[in-house]
Amino acid sequence: MAGASAATALQRVVEPIRDTASAPHSAPGWYVFFFLSGFPALLYQIVWQRSLFTLYGVNIESVTMVVTAFMLGLGLGGLLGGLISRRQDWPLLAIFGVVELSIAAYGVGSMRIFHWAANFTAGRPALETGLVAFALVVLPTVLMGSTLPILVSYQVRVSHNVGTSVGALYAVNTLGSATACFCAGWFLMRWLGETKTVGVAALLNTIVGGSVLLWQFRVRRPGISENAEQSADKTDSIDVATQLFPFSFGLALLAACISGFVSLGYEIIWYRLFSFTTGGEAKSFAFLLGSYLMGIGAGSLVINRLCQQITKPLAFIRFLVTAVFAANVLGFLIAPILFELVRHVSHLWTLVPIGIAAACLGSIFPLLCHVSISTSDQVGSRMSYVYLSNIIGSVLGSYLTGFVLMDILSLRQVSVVLAMVGIALGVILLPKTQLSRMRFVAVSFLALLLAFGFVQSSQILYHHMYEKMMMKGAYRSTTEFAAVVETRSGEITVTKDGTVYGGGIYDGRFNVSLVDDTNGIQRPFALSYFHPSPREVLIIGLSSGSWAHVIASHPKVEKVEIVEINPGYLRLIRKVPAVSGLLTNPKVHIEIDDGRRWLVRNPDRKFDVVVMNTTYNWRSNASNLLSVEFLQLMRKHLNPGGAAIYNTTESPEVLATGVSVFPFAMRIGGFLVVSDSPLPLNADRWRDNLLHYTVNGKPVFDLSQPWDRKRLEDVMDMTTTIDRDTPYPYPLESAGHIRVRTEGARTITDDNMGTEWNR
**pLDDT by residue (tens digit) across 337-349?**
999 999 999 888 9
CATH superfamily of this structure's domain 2-17+24-461: MFS general substrate transporter like domains (1.20.1250.20)
The Cα 591–Cα 571 span in angstroms is 14
pLDDT value for 425 = 96
Q: What φ, ψ does residue 56 adopt, rounded to 5°?
A: -115, 0
CA–CA distance, 297 with 319 (Å, rounded to integer): 17
User: Rounded to the nearest 5 degrees, what angle is found at the Cα of 188, between the Cα atoms of 269 and 198?
Assistant: 90
Tell me the per-residue pLDDT of 627-684, one tens digit each, with 9 for 90 and over. 999 999 999 999 999 999 999 999 999 999 999 999 999 999 999 999 999 999 999 9
Rounded-to-10 torsion of CA 642, 647, 653, 658: 0
Q: Which of 23-32, 464-473, 494-503 has the lowest mean pLDDT?
A: 23-32
Instruction: Flag whether pLDDT at 143 surpasses 60.
Output: yes
pLDDT at 625 over 90: yes
Residue 2 has pLDDT above 50, yes or no: no
- Which of 157-161, 272-276, 279-283, 435-439 has the least mean pLDDT? 157-161
Spatial separation of the C-alpha atoms in residues 343 and 473, rounded to whole Å: 5
Distances (CA, A) of 73 to 59, 77, 145, 358, 401: 22, 6, 7, 23, 20
Which contiguous run of DSSP H or E holds residue 152? helix 126-159
User: How does DSSP classify residue 281?
Assistant: B
Give the whole-angstrom CA distance, residue 8 versus residue 168. 12
Q: What pLDDT, on the 0 to 100 scale, is given for residue 755?
A: 93
Kindly state the average pLDDT of the residues 494-506: 95
pLDDT in tens, 268-302: 999 999 999 999 999 999 999 999 999 999 998 88
pLDDT for the residue numbered 29: 64
Supply the mean pLDDT for the chain: 88
pLDDT at residue 20, as a whole number: 34
Q: Which residues pair with 666 in a beta bridge?
A: 673, 734
pTM metric for this prediction: 0.90
Q: Is 512 exposed, middle or buried (0-12, 13-18, 19+ CB in 10 A)?
A: buried
Q: For 517-741, give the CATH class.
A: alpha beta
Q: What are phi and psi of 112, to 5 degrees?
A: -65, -40
Torsion of CA 175, 181, 183, 184, to 10 degrees: 160
Condensed to tens digits (0 to 9), the pLDDT of residues 216-239 reads 777 654 433 444 444 434 433 344
Query: Which pLDDT score is estimated for 234?
Result: 41
CB-based burial label for 343 (10 Å; 0-12, 13-18, 19+): middle
Separation between Cα atoms, residue 333 and residue 462, nearest integer Å: 10
Tell me the C-alpha distance between 565 and 235, whole Å.
59
Q: Which helix (H) or strand (E) holds 759?
A: none
Domain residue spans of the chain = 2-17+24-461, 517-741
Stretch (H or E) spanning 756? none
Q: Give the percent of the chain with pLDDT over 70.
A: 91
pLDDT number for residue 220: 56
Q: What is the pLDDT of residue 5?
A: 37
Span of 25-29, 185-189, 199-203, 753-757 with lowest mean pLDDT: 25-29
Number of other CB atoms surrounding residue 4 within 10 Å: 9
Report how far residue 526's alpha carbon sits from residue 374's, in angstroms, rounded to the nearest whole number. 74
User: Burial code of 195-211, b = ≥16 C-beta within 10 A, e = fewer?
Assistant: bebbbbbbebbbebbee
Pick from 385, 365, 256: nearest CA to 303? 365
Q: What is the pLDDT of residues 61-101, one digit of tens each?
A: 777 777 888 888 999 999 999 889 887 778 888 999 999 99
